Amino acid sequence: MSRSYKAVAAVIFANFFFGTTVIAVKHITPSIITPTALTTVRVVATACLFWLFFGFTKFATKFTRKDFFILMICALMGISFNQGFSIKGMSLTSPIHASLLILTTPISISLLAALFLKEKLTPYKLGGLLLGITGGAILIFSRDLSVVNSGDQTKGDLFVMLSALCYSTYVLIMKSLAAKYPNLTILKWVFLIGACISLPFGWQDLQKVPWHSFDLLSWFCLSYIVIGATFLSYLFMNYGISQLGASRTSSFMYSQPFFAAVSAIIILNETISLSKILAASLIFTGVYLANITKNFSEKE
């Protein structure tokens, strides 16, 4: 299997975890653990995993002073702010709102990449983005809108949008480091710095967590958030960015609402409808159109 296909598979798995993690988050927060405490556990535990598995290499990579400063910005935007805003938003707003607002991430990434990285917005890519947005909107609005979260949805929507903006900035900044340093080296340092930032803010909430109230399902949800939706997802996404580029990687984010809907069908017993099938078709067609641009440019 070529590197390109491996990167595509990695990004798909990452978006699967991202798309389904909202169900796990809603199960344990804010009823059992506060969003701040969950964010701290998520970041600190993931940092420990990266350093446990990849931290003790024989040859250490040294960052230049400028790149280490960029690394700190990546940790602040992509780890501390992104994770904190995301968990807080999911705890307040409904899963439908959260899934819809996640779609602003690839839009902002593509636009920022065109402005700052001079990446071309070709007709195929624009068409793919439009199809992806249309499919995601159909999929989301076809779900049951009668179940409304009891939290402050307006505030939750704002936090999710801030999370998407922070992650978009993280993806673009990370690309400059991914071309110079190993992927694992970047990740372990980004999460270590992010853990150092998040731990002081979440220490007080961590002391109030009733760990004895966690049942087997709650522990599974917490493990899913830490291992699946963070450790593996960031590992896969950074690999995708280094191999596919920022815009191509972002185009796969349109699959997140699809994975969220499938998980809702399995877990919440939602039925399959024609609108959901149509939405899935539009999403994957959009992903295809956004990705064939590179093949055409290579042939030319």
Structural domain boundaries in the chain: 3-299
pLDDT at 122 over 50: yes
pLDDT band per the 50, 70, 90 thresholds, residue 182: confident
Nearest CA among 11, 50, 5 for reference residue 249:
11
Q: Is the Cα torsion angle 133, 144, 11, 164 positive or negative in sign?
A: positive
pLDDT of residue 269: 65
Q: What is the tens place of the pLDDT at every residue in 150-170? A: 456 677 777 887 888 888 888
Give 4's pLDDT tier (boundaries 50, 70, 90).
confident
Q: What per-residue confidence (pLDDT) applies to 38?
A: 96
User: CA–CA separation, 232 vs 237, rounded Å?
Assistant: 9
Residues 6+ apart with CB under 8 A from 232: 13, 14, 17
Between these two residues, 254 and 72, which has the higher pLDDT value? 72
The DSSP annotation for 145-190 comes to: -S---SS-HHHHHHHHHHHHHHHHHHHHHHHHHHTTS-HHHHHHHH
Query: What gap in Å lies between CA 172 and CA 175, rounded to an integer?
Result: 6
pLDDT at 144 over 70: no
Structure-model confidence comparison of residues 267 and 68, the more confident one: 68
Residues 22 and 177 sit within 8 Å (Cβ to Cβ): no
Q: Of the ranges 115-119, 210-214, 287-291, which is most confident?
A: 210-214
Q: Reply yes or no on whether the pLDDT at 27 is more than 70.
A: yes
pLDDT in tens, 190-235: 999 999 999 999 999 999 999 998 999 999 999 999 999 999 998 8
- Mean pLDDT for 107-126 is 72
pTM of the full structure = 0.77
